[in-house]
Amino acid sequence: MGDVKRALTGVRVVDLTRILAGPFCTQMLGDHGADVIKIESLDGDETRRWGPPFSRDGMSAYFQGVNRNKRSLALDLSNPAGQSVLLRMLRDADVLIENFKAGQMEKWGLGYDATLRDRFPSLIYAQITGYGSDGPLAGRPGFDAIAQVMSGLASINGTPDGPPVRVGTPISDLAAAFYATNAILMALYERVQSGIGQKVEVSLLDCSVSLLHPHAANYFMTGEAPGRIGNAHPNIAPYEMFQTANGFIFIAGGNDRQFQKLVALLGRADLATDPRFSNNAVRKANDTVLTSVLATLLIEKDGVVLADQLLENGVPAGSVLEIPEALNHPQVRFRDMVVEDGNYRGIGVPVKLSRTPGQPKFSPPHLGEHAHSILTEAGYGDTEIKELFRLKVAGNTVVSEVT
């Protein structure tokens, strides 16, 4: 996949995370040049076995999707010898990130406050938990779907007459990954000035609650609990999914000018001066009627052509694409949002930096693939490395789960 100068070149990240939030965070750091060392248990990150589908060499699609640009070392951190290996590796690390249950690192004698802060004063220690390191739920395991339902996200997702619905992507995990990445970068920036590291923490529940806009803002102002409104928007009309002659189209007429253009292009310019629809406040008050009128106008339209026409005229609109269609869309391809290298295919890097662009440099690693080189960099000789393997403190087994 080539090599270019990247924004985080020279930053070393020791990655103790597994599943999704942590690995997605460290993949983003790796995409922008950080040297990410993924330390897994001897059994490996459990998502290696989350399939099908599996690649021809036994790697699950789930694992492959969030673990590129990393080197892998299998290490038993429950063993004091494994803990010693980690401590030696931290001498050259800028960031340690973990997503164990709150308190696990302390049980191993590797807690930030008790051990790592004084021993490695410049270290950025990043922690991702389900509910936080303190409070009544601290220490309980975190899961994306549970964070979605406990935060209120599921309560506003779905149709008015249907049950709460989980968002189709693991949005709580993904949001925690984005927040953790931002927190690490903020701490690295502050360290340039102070020379001192710090602990940064995000939780799935906290991050999920932060995504409640504008529903929480509306609730704070009115005291009324938000409900499920399907594809509609609580503050804007029109904002809805419509059936056309050849598929679905989404239209978001967020301001009066956009609404005027929309109805003009639909041949009903008079709707813009209808007292029920003349501004957003009255449109929202009459959104059931408005949706019905627009649905009648759109049902026989070519949705693909209309969406392009509306967007070209400044009206937010898009025809609904299936995932294969989206990944092959000319704009997505032009922006390098699909990367292909040999047998590896993945999502591209969304952050575009002009001088130091991110880059998918190498494919996700097999379990323990880089054990020898990582341990050598930490100062271990060949004899010591063989002994770590013999004692099952470290491992370099390539896992294959295809059955």
Q: Which residues are known to be catalytic?
A: 173
Cα angle 221, 223, 229; round to 5: 90
Region at 147 (left for phi over 0; alpha for psi -120 to 50; beta for the rest):
alpha
Query: What are 88's two structure tokens?
Result: 């030696």
CA–CA gap between residue 20 and residue 170 (Å, rounded): 9
Residue 285: partners with Cβ closer than 8 Å, 6 or more residues away? none
What is the DSSP secondary structure assignment for residue 9, as one 8-state letter?
T
E strands, 210-356, in order:
239-244, 247-252, 317-319, 338-341, 344-347
Tell me how crowded residue 198 is: count the other CB atoms within 10 A of its CB.
18
Query: What are 361's two structure tokens?
Result: 């440099």
**Of 388, 350, 397, whose CA–CA distance to 48 is shortest?**
397
Residue 64: partners with Cβ closer than 8 Å, 6 or more residues away? 55, 344, 346, 363, 364
CA–CA gap between residue 361 and residue 382 (Å, rounded): 28
- The tally of CA atoms less than 13 A away on the side-chain side of residue 312 is 7
Helix (H) or strand (E) holding 358: none
Query: What are 45's two structure tokens?
Result: 């990150």
What's the distance, Cα to Cα, between the start and end of the chain in Å? Answer: 30
CA–CA gap between residue 344 and residue 348 (Å, rounded): 12
Radius of gyration of the chain (CA): 25
Contact status, residue 241 vs residue 320, Cβ threshold 8 Å: yes
CA–CA gap between residue 263 and residue 274 (Å, rounded): 11
For the chain, the 3-state helix, strand and coil shares in percent, each to the nearest 5, are 40, 15, 45
